[in-house]
RNA sequence: GCUCGGAUGGUGGAAUUGGUAGACACGUUGGACUUAAAAUCCAAUGACCAUUGCGGUCGUGCGGGUUCAAGUCCCGCUCCGAGUACCA
């Protein structure tokens, strides 16, 4: 009987589904002690409409083999599957067509075909056209009466997976876009909102606990993860805050919070773009300009968990490289945060009259403004100034438009610290600002009196009287010279404000502090606009604008172009007090550290490049190191610090703590641990994602009570952002929360009393995928909890997780974060989600290219005086690839009198072979006068190419991209074939190199596909797919089948199943046990490719031995069943068993079958193997040496020389040196 | 740029972790069977030299090194791939 894989595979797939063979048991289902649990999970797939290609199932096959193996080993295996079904592609399609993303998702999962492979009626229009939504290639109209219409119809993820024979427990399927599922995503969000992080205890705690602490001791003592700019307050201050103020403060502590974050904003599309949606500064779709913009969004305080996420890696069985990637992503660095005061005036413009210098450290920018104000006073100001100037008012000296801190006071009497302000109507609208200003001035010790414009103009005398009375009452301050005493006496002193405006910079090398020669800020840094001098404003503004257009990645990747701008401002070196120029440069990123760098050109290459480019000095702080060409970035302790005052002669290790100590004593620095890990932005301006269970009162977020979840996605009429730039949910008519009815109501009802607007953003893709593994543990009561305690305790976490390395930092970090958080909250019993993790490598496609060229020419028809240049002729040619490369540059135009050799050859060949259509004409009427020749390799669909790289010409000419070659001339190779060239690339639709697993299953069967995917190479390595190689594993399965259906003596195909109960031969048992040993070891090591080879060797040998013994053939079927389950089940049944093979005990390896008593020794001379020698393993070293030396071939090799040394490793090798 | 991988015949890959380089397949060539093809079976297949046979030289991206012995360890490069925070 022939191996009928189709019948066998359909039979067993049906049987498994019917019997629920792979349903995992819950712990309570066992009578007595439950079997040990084993949880095998694949990374959550997104069900894309393009369907599976052969790369997708690779990881699933590996995990399936492992899951099946573990069942044989006696485990209760949980191997579920589901869909991460929220996401951009469905949304994109919704925007284009208006089709609801939920139905797109549904189609992508379920497919459009019935069980017989016929399209379902609901996807066919009356005229026979298949609805666009059911098509893979939407641009290709497809009708049901076409022959192979199925090839362009979405098969559905589930149907495709089912064909490969996975042992998934589908009864536990989840979908992130299902409201019953995202109810729990929303629930987790609320838990995060209601929590803060106790950094001392390293634990998330309830926010009410934090409120208790604030009530008792304010926020000064507690060590909580919080926003950097959180102000300190005492318990009594807390008690004076309004509820809204308290709420606002608590947002600084919540584990999910609203904050301004930078995004890539595309005004034309009205949306935020991912870095990879931006190409060369413009949007990938449409090429619209993109700029960086701040936006208020939800963030997750993952940074609080940085240290735990880092330490947790130690105990995980993940690859070292993946752990390293996460370590780098978290990016812990120990260093110091330093404060550099900004000098009030630029170098050389220092004010020489310190007594009047009441301005802050950006005085020089405001002073220009003040001058302007002085020159253009308002009517009232002018009136008052006439009365105040020149000590007119009882001898008090007034100054007009004078700087105090960052403010310009209208009039000020410094002696009495009195400010006189004249307000116009304008000030009514800026009351809050005025109050803030008054508060500031009061703090500085100034009294402020205000007058209205009309008071000054209408009643100047009364105003002057009021001022005079006030002045008389106030005490006079005298100018003091010493700054230290001044502060006691006079509220405003020399350099007041110094240190108030500072640049904070994090550095890992505080020991190189004396090497700092400038400061560089990120162009987005808040200080930039405040400190830039008027002279530099234009340049700085232009630079900031230009860098806002570049994406972060672009800025990081581009190190060749050094760019920057000088702000005109100076900061002060903490030790030398020298002024340091403050620059901006886009090599400094706002999101890293403080967005400011203390630039040490001698110790950092980027700083060095920058300094060299802009001619900034490069002081050297390394003893005996030449830094003229490049920076010295070595951290070797042997190198001593020089030119650094108290740090001289120290190595890095001693210098760092000493440098920090000195700075700390000055109050200008402290040791700091910095993490590269940034808080994760959690808002998306999209429709197809989880809605936030949040509504807003007074602009402050409130959580919807968890008993009213899920908050379901509202319907919208379009999936685009609104015209005024709000996210798509801004289009929903019913998107308001009624706090009394506890339900979503119409927006019209918003009254800000009981009905409030609901959050318009949705959650990102990683929300639903960060906890899904735990929901698979629950079957019965999914509406009551993520999973019951009993189930969580039984299954714990994932024992084996397989997926692509693209998730290394995103998904894997976020789900670890959520697991740790929910562990803190007592929801999960574990604090890591995935114990062991394997990254499968990518399967690459083999793209095909046909060599084409186009000759453009005109014929100079002199006789008829026709200028045919206007209507050039075009000749298209297809050239078999093996005829060689043409090596002709694109668009190289050649005059008729100069045709290069190569082109001439082509033309000649074209003429000869293709019957050059214009040859006669050119002979008769003139000559070819103008030619263009374009040589292009064109992509062709791999389905049009066979395994010998021959192009199906008819197919090509009718394909959409081959149409233009309909009348092309073809140059075949000598065997009359048209060959294409191949190139290995990522497998993708756009490259026309996709191989569909359905087709493979159809032609070779699922077992062949499974074996071949494994056989291709190591699981973790990227490897190219080549369908040609499949016949090897397919042949193997046929050979395996033949072992049980042996051919008759004439070699004819065996019709009968023949298995004998006689004992197997020693050799057969030996190869069986060799196979058991190797395959078991391979599965444990995830080396599936080598186990397939081992099976092949085993079957080859057993065939040779004509082994028919049940003693060998029965365990062989079990061994192979994880890899090729269908054929194994069939053979198992033929062997007389009535139950599934899936839980049969795995064969036990017995060492004694492998006992060898001799070994074929390689005999080497100077390390080179010359011949082999069979020797007994019982021999001693001396005996081996004796035998080897006596060997004739040894003497021949030595050729009379005496060996210097003979190295013998018993059981391994003999090496003779000499 | 940074981080992490990788490089072995015509192709995918193997090599018990320092001990016979190229297992197992694909492909190719030759042969058997067949009217023929397919299927199947057998043989050869790293390159070069030699060939009646025995054999010899080179060879794991490149350049060095350690060792009796290096694809494997060390130092210095080259090239290719992946990730880089809103694709999933």
Q: Following DSSP, what letter does each residue of A1124-1139 receive, concatenated? A: SHHHHHHHHHHTT--S
Q: HSE of A223 in the Cβ direction (CA atoms, 13 Å)?
A: 6
Share of chain A above pLDDT 90, in %: 32
Number of neighbours of residue A1068 by Cβ within 10 angstroms: 23
Kindly calculate the radius of gyration of chain A based on its CA atoms and give it in whole angstroms.
40
What is the CATH number assigned to the segment(s) A1158-1217? Answer: 3.10.20.590
Omega prior to A710 cis, within 30 of 0 = yes
Point out the nucleotide closest to A685 (alpha carbon to C1′).
B86
Of the listed ranges A668-677, A814-823, A849-858, A1113-1122, the one predicted with least confidence: A849-858
Hits for CB < 7 Å against strand B across A residues 281-320: 295, 297, 320
pLDDT at A493: 30
- Write the CA distances from A189 to A244, A615, A705, A815, A1120, integer angstroms: 21, 52, 12, 13, 46
Which of A115-129, A355-369, A695-709, A884-898 shows the lowest per-residue confidence on average (mean pLDDT)? A884-898
Phi, psi of A706 (to 5 degrees): -60, -20
Distance CA A1170 to C1' B47 in A: 19
- Domain residue limits, chain A: 88-168, 358-489, 508-666, 843-986, 997-1154, 1158-1217
Distances in Å between the alpha carbon of A768 and those of A14, A89, A181, A445, A811? 32, 17, 8, 55, 10
Question: What are the two backbone dihedrals, phi and then psi, of residue A618, each rounded to the nearest 5 degrees?
Answer: -120, 85
pLDDT of residue A365: 59
CA to C1' distance (Å), from A1047 to B40: 11
Q: Closest by alpha carbon to A552, among A298, A303, A291?
A: A291
Q: What is the pLDDT of residue A204?
A: 95
Residue numbers 747-786 of A with CB closer than 7 A to any atom of strand B: 764-765, 769
The whole-chain average pLDDT of chain A stands at 83
Which nt is closest to the CA of A552, judged by C1'? Answer: B84
From the CA of A1138, how many Å to the C1' of B14? 39
Judged against a pLDDT cut of 90, whether residue A508 lies above it is answered with no
Mean pLDDT of A1069-1089: 93
**Rounded Cα distance, A533 and A371, in Å:** 15
- Amino acid A1029 CA to nucleotide B51 C1' distance, rounded Å: 35
Comparison of pLDDT for A435 and A484, the residue scoring more: A435
Name A residues 649-708 whose Cβ lies under 7 Å from strand B. 676-678, 680-681, 683-686
Torsion of CA A644, A646, A651, A655, to 10 degrees: -100
* Per-residue model confidence as pLDDT tens digits over A67-115: 999 999 999 999 999 999 998 888 888 888 888 999 889 989 988 888 7
Residue A536: the pLDDT is 84
Q: So what's the pLDDT on residue A49?
A: 79
| Residue with nearest Cα to nucleotide B70 C1' | A1167
Nucleotides, chain B, CB distance < 7 Å: 1-6, 11-15, 19-21, 23-28, 40-41, 55-57, 68-70, 81-88
Judged against a pLDDT cut of 60, whether residue A486 lies above it is answered with no
- Report in angstroms the alpha-carbon separations of A400 from A367, A471, A478: 12, 16, 20
- Residue A1159 C-beta-side C-alpha neighbours within 13 Å: 14
DSSP assignments along A510-548, one per residue: GGGGGG--EEEE-TT-THHHHH--HHHHHHHHHHHHHHH
Instruction: Using the CA of A263, give the nucleotide whose C1' is nearest.
Output: B86
Distance CA A438, CA A955 (A): 82
Mean local confidence (pLDDT), A1030-1048: 89
Fold held by A358-489: Endonuclease; Chain A (3.40.960)
Per-residue model confidence (pLDDT) at position A363:
62
Q: Looking at residue A552, what is its pLDDT?
A: 72
How many CB atoms are located within 10 Å of the residue A799 CB?
20
The neighbouring-strand residues paired with A571 are: A342, A580
Domains A358-489 and A1158-1217 share a fold: no
Alpha carbon A701 to its chain centroid, in Å, reads 29
Q: What is the pLDDT of residue A144?
A: 82
Which of A442-456, A622-636, A842-856, A1047-1061 is predicted least confidently?
Answer: A1047-1061
CA distances from A433 to A261, A428, A454 (A): 25, 10, 21
For the CA of A1031 and the C1' of B38, the distance in angstroms is 14
The pLDDT of residue A1011 is 95
Q: Nearest CA to A153 among A197, A86, A108? A: A108
pLDDT at A527 over 80: yes
Counting Cβ atoms within 10 Å, is residue A199 exposed (0-12), middle (13-18) or buried (19+)? middle
State whether the beta carbon of A1208 lies below 7 angstroms from any atom of strand B: no
pLDDT band at A483 (very low <50, low <70, confident <90, very high): very low
Separation of alpha carbons A116 and A870, rounded Å = 57
Which pLDDT does position A495 carry in this prediction? 32
Q: Which of A622-626, A958-962, A997-1001, A1092-1096 has the lowest mean pLDDT?
A: A958-962
The spacing between the Cα labelled CA in A395 and the C1' in B8, in angstroms, equals 96
DSSP structure class, residue A146? S
CA of A108 to C1' of B73 (A): 51
Q: What is the Cα–Cα distance from A963 to A346, expressed in whole angstroms? A: 69
CATH number for the region A997-1154 comes to 1.10.730.10
Q: How far apart are CA A996 and CA A990, in angstroms?
A: 14
d(CA A1098, CA A1077): 12
In Å, what is the separation between the CA of A271 and the C1' of B31?
A: 69
Spell out which residues of A between 967 and 996 contact strand B, using CB within 7 Å: 986
Comparing C-alpha atoms, which of A772, A814, A683 is closest to residue A330? A814
Distance CA A25, CA A607 (A): 61
Looking at mean pLDDT, say which of A304-318, A873-887, A1048-1062, A1115-1129 comes out highest. A1115-1129
Average confidence (pLDDT) over A392-419: 80
Question: Across residues A1130-1153, what is the average pLDDT?
Answer: 93
Q: What is the mean pLDDT of residues A519-531?
A: 84
Q: Which fold has domain A508-666?
A: Isoleucyl-tRNA Synthetase; domain 2 (3.90.740)
Residue nearest the C1' of B67 (CA based): A1167
Cα gap A90→A108, rounded to integer Å: 9
Q: Rounded to an integer, what distance in angstroms lies between the CA atom of residue A266 and that of residue A286?
A: 11
Verify if strand B has an atom below 7 Å from the CB of A1051: yes
Distance A86 CA to B61 C1' (A): 44
Summarize the confidence of residues A581-604 as an average pLDDT: 84
DSSP A719: S
pLDDT tens-digit map of A647-656 = 888 888 888 8
CA atoms within 13 A on the CB side of A195: 27
User: What would the 3-class secondary structure string for A650-690 be?
Assistant: CCHHHHHHHHHHHHHHCCCEEEEEEECCCCEECCECCCCCC
The band of A380, judged by pLDDT with boundaries at 50, 70 and 90, is confident
Under 8 Å CB-to-CB from A1167, ≥6 apart: which residues? Answer: A1215
Output the 3-class SS for A327-362: HHHHCEEEEEEEEEEECCCCCCCCCCCHHHCCECCC
CA of A163 to C1' of B73 (A): 47
Query: Which residues of chain A between 243 and 272 are close to nucleic strand B, CB under 7 A?
Result: 263-264, 272
pLDDT top residue among A1206 and A486: A1206
A1167 CA – B68 C1', rounded, Å: 7
The answer to whether residue A354 scores a pLDDT higher than 80 is no
pLDDT digits 0-9 by tens, A723-780: 888 899 999 999 999 999 999 999 999 999 999 999 999 999 899 999 999 999 999 8
**A30 φ/ψ angles, rounded to the nearest 5 degrees:** -85, 140
Residue A496 vs residue A231, higher pLDDT = A231
Closest CA to A1113 of A1072, A1076, A1074, A1144: A1072
The reply to whether the CB atom of residue A7 sits less than 7 A from any atom in nucleic acid chain B is: no
* Tens digit of each residue's pLDDT (9 = 90 or more) over A1041-1076: 989 988 765 556 667 888 889 888 888 999 999 999
Residue A78 · residue A169 · CB < 8 Å:
yes
Q: Whole-angstrom Cα distance, residue A1174 to residue A1158?
A: 7
pLDDT value at position A912? Answer: 53
Q: What pLDDT, in 10s, does the model give residues A491-507?
A: 333 233 333 568 888 88
pLDDT at A910: 55
A836 CA from B88 C1′ (Å)? 22
Distance CA A533, CA A552 (A): 27
Helices (H) and strands (E) in chain A, counts: 38, 40
| Nucleotide of closest approach to A684 (CA, C1') | B86
Q: Is the C-beta of residue A1100 closer than 7 Å to nucleic acid chain B?
A: yes
The answer on pLDDT for A830 being more than 60 is yes
Question: Does A789 or A852 have the greater pLDDT score?
Answer: A789
Residue A1179 has pLDDT above 70, yes or no: yes
Residue A195: name the closest of A257, A134, A148 by CA. Answer: A257
- Tens of pLDDT, residues A419-465: 888 876 654 556 666 777 777 777 767 888 888 888 888 888 888 88
What residues form DSSP beta bridges with A983? Answer: A847
Strand B-proximal residues of A, range 52-111, CB below 7 A, are: 84, 86-89
Question: Would the Cβ of A21 be found within 7 angstroms of any atom in strand B?
Answer: no
Of all helices (H) and strands (E), which one includes residue A401? strand A399-404
Closest CA to A644 of A632, A631, A656, A627: A656
Indicate if CB(A902) is under 7 A from strand B: no
Residue A838's DSSP bridge partners are: A802
- A619-633, A644-658, A1127-1141: lowest mean pLDDT where? A619-633
Rounded Cα distance, A221 and A206, in Å = 18
pLDDT at residue A913 greater than cutoff 80: no
Cβ contacts of A399-402, under 8 Å, gap ≥ 24: A399/A356, A400/A374, A401/A370, A401/A371, A401/A373, A401/A374, A402/A356, A402/A358, A402/A370
Whether A157 has a pLDDT exceeding 80, the answer reads yes
Q: Which nucleotide is nearest to A1033 (CA to C1')?
A: B25
Q: How far is the CA of A48 from the C1' of B88 (A)?
A: 9
């Amino acid at each position: 009987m022939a191996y009928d894989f189709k019948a066998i595979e359909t039979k067993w797939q049906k049987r498994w589904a019917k019997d629920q063979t792979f349903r995992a048991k819950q712990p309570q289902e066992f009578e007595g002690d439950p079997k040990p649990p084993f949880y095998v999970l694949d990374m959550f797939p997104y069900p894309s409409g393009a369907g599976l290609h052969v790369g997708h199932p690779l990881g699933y096959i590996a995990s399936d083999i492992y899951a099946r193996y573990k069942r044989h080993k006696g485990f209760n295996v949980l191997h579920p599957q589901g869909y991460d079904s929220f996401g951009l592609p469905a949304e994109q399609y919704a925007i284009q067509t208006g089709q609801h993303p939920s139905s797109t998702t549904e189609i992508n999962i379920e497919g459009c075909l019935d069980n017989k492979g016929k399209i379902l009626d609901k996807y066919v229009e009356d005229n026979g056209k298949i609805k666009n939504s059911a098509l893979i290639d939407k641009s290709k109209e497809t009708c049901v009466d076409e022959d192979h219409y199925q090839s362009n119809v979405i098969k559905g993820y589930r149907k495709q997976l089912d064909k490969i024979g996975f042992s998934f427990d589908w009864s536990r399927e989840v979908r992130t876009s299902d409201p019953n599922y995202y109810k729990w995503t929303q629930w987790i969000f609320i838990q995060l909102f209601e929590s803060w992080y106790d950094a001392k205890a390293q634990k998330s705690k309830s926010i009410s606990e934090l409120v208790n602490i604030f009530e008792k001791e304010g926020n000064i003592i507690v060590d909580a993860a919080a926003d950097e700019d959180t102000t300190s307050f005492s318990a009594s201050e807390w008690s004076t805050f309004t509820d809204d103020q308290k709420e606002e403060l608590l947002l600084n502590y919540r584990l999910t919070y609203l904050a301004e974050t930078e995004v890539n904003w595309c005004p034309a599309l009205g949306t935020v773009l991912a870095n990879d949606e931006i190409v060369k500064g413009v949007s990938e779709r449409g090429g619209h300009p993109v700029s960086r913009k701040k936006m208020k969004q939800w963030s997750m305080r993952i940074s609080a968990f940085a240290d735990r996420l880092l330490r947790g890696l130690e105990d995980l069985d993940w690859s070292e490289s993946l752990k390293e990637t996460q370590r780098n992503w978290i990016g812990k660095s120990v260093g110091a945060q330093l404060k550099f005061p900004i000098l009030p005036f630029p170098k050389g413009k220092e004010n020489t009259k310190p007594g009047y210098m009441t301005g802050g450290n950006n005085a020089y920018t405001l002073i220009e403004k003040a001058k302007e104000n002085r020159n253009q006073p308002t009517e009232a100001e002018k009136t008052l100034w006439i009365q105040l100037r020149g000590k007119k008012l009882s001898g008090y000296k007034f100054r007009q438009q004078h700087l105090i801190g960052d403010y310009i006071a209208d009039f000020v009497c410094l002696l009495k610290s009195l400010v006189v302000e004249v307000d116009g109507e304008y000030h009514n609208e800026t009351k809050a600002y005025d109050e803030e200003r008054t508060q500031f001035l009061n703090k500085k010790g100034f009294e402020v009196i205000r007058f209205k414009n009309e008071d000054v103009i209408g009643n100047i005398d009364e105003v002057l009287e009021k001022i005079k009375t006030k002045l008389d009452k106030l005490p006079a301050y005298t100018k003091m010279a010493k700054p230290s005493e001044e502060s006691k006496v006079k509220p405003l002193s020399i350099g007041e404000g110094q240190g108030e405006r500072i640049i904070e910079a994090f550095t890992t090398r505080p020991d190189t502090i004396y090497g700092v020669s400038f400061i560089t800020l990120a162009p987005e840094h808040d200080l930039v606009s405040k400190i830039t001098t008027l002279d530099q404003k234009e340049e700085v503004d232009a630079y900031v604008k230009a860098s806002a257009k570049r994406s972060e990645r672009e800025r990081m990747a581009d190190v060749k172009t050094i760019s920057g701008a000088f702000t005109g401002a100076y900061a002060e070196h903490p030790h030398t007090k020298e002024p340091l120029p403050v620059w901006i440069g886009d090599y400094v990123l706002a999101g890293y550290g403080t967005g400011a760098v203390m630039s040490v050109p001698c110790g950092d290459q980027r700083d060095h490049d920058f300094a060299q480019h802009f001619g900034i000095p490069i002081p050297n702080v390394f003893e005996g190191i030449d830094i003229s060409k490049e920076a010295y970035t070595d951290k070797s302790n042997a190198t001593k610090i020089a030119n650094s005052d108290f740090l001289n002669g120290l190595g890095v290790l001693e210098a760092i703590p000493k440098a920090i100590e000195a700075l700390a004593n000055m109050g200008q620095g402290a040791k700091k641990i910095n993490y590269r890990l940034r808080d994760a932005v959690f808002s998306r301006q999209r429709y197809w994602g989880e809605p936030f269970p949040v509504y807003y009162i007074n602009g402050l977020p409130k959580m919807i009570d968890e008993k009213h979840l899920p908050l379901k996605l509202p319907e919208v009429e379009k999936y685009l952002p609104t015209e005024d730039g709000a996210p798509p949910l801004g289009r929903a008519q019913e998107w308001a929360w009624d706090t009394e009815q506890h339900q979503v109501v119409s927006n019209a009802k918003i009254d800000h009393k009981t009905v409030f607007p609901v959050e318009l953003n949705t959650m990102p893709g990683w929300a639903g995928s960060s906890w899904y593994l735990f929901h698979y543990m629950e079957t019965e009561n999914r509406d009551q909890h993520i999973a019951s305690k009993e189930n969580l305790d039984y299954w714990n976490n994932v024992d084996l997780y397989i997926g692509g390395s693209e998730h290394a930092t995103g998904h894997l970090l976020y789900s670890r974060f959520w697991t740790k958080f929910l562990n803190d909250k007592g929801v999960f019993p574990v604090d890591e989600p995935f114990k062991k993790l394997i990254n499968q490598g990518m399967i690459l496609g083999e793209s095909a290219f046909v060599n084409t060229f186009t000759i453009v020419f005109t014929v100079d028809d002199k006789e008829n005086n026709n200028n045919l240049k206007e209507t050039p002729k075009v000749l298209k040619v297809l050239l078999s690839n093996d005829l060689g490369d043409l090596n002709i540059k694109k668009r190289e135009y050649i005059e008729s009198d100069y045709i290069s050799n190569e082109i001439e050859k082509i033309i000649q060949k074209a003429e000869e072979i293709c019957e050059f259509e214009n040859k006669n004409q050119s002979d008769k009427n003139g000559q070819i006068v103008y030619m263009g020749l374009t040589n292009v390799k064109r992509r062709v669909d791999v389905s049009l190419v066979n395994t010998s790289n021959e192009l199906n010409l008819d197919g090509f000419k009718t394909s959409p991209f081959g149409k233009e070659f309909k009348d092309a001339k073809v140059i075949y190779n000598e065997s009359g074939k048209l060959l294409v060239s191949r190139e290995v690339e990522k497998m993708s639709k756009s490259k026309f190199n996709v191989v569909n697993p359905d087709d493979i299953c159809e032609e070779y069967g699922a077992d062949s596909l499974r074996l071949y995917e494994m056989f291709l190479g190591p699981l973790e390595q990227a490897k190219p797919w080549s369908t040609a190689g499949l016949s090897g594993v397919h042949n193997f399965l046929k050979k395996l089948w033949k072992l049980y259906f042996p051919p008759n003596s004439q070699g004819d195909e065996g019709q009968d199943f023949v298995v004998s109960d006689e004992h197997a031969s020693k050799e057969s048992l030996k190869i069986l046990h060799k196979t058991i040993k190797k395959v078991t070891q391979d599965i444990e090591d995830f080396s599936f490719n080598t186990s397939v080879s081992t099976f092949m060797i085993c079957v080859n040998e057993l065939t040779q031995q004509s082994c028919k013994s049940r003693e060998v053939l029965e365990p062989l079927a079990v061994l192979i069943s994880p890899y090729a389950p269908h054929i194994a089940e069939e053979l198992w049944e033929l062997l007389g068993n009535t139950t599934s093979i899936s839980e049969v005990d795995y064969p036990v390896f017995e060492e004694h079958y492998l006992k060898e008593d001799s070994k074929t020794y390689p005999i080497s001379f100077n390390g080179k193997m010359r011949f082999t020698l069979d020797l007994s393993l019982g021999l001693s070293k001396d005996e081996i040496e004796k035998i080897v030396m006596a060997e004739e071939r040894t003497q021949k090799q030595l050729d009379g020389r005496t060996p210097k040394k003979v190295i013998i490793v018993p059981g391994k090798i003999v090496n003779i040196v000499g």
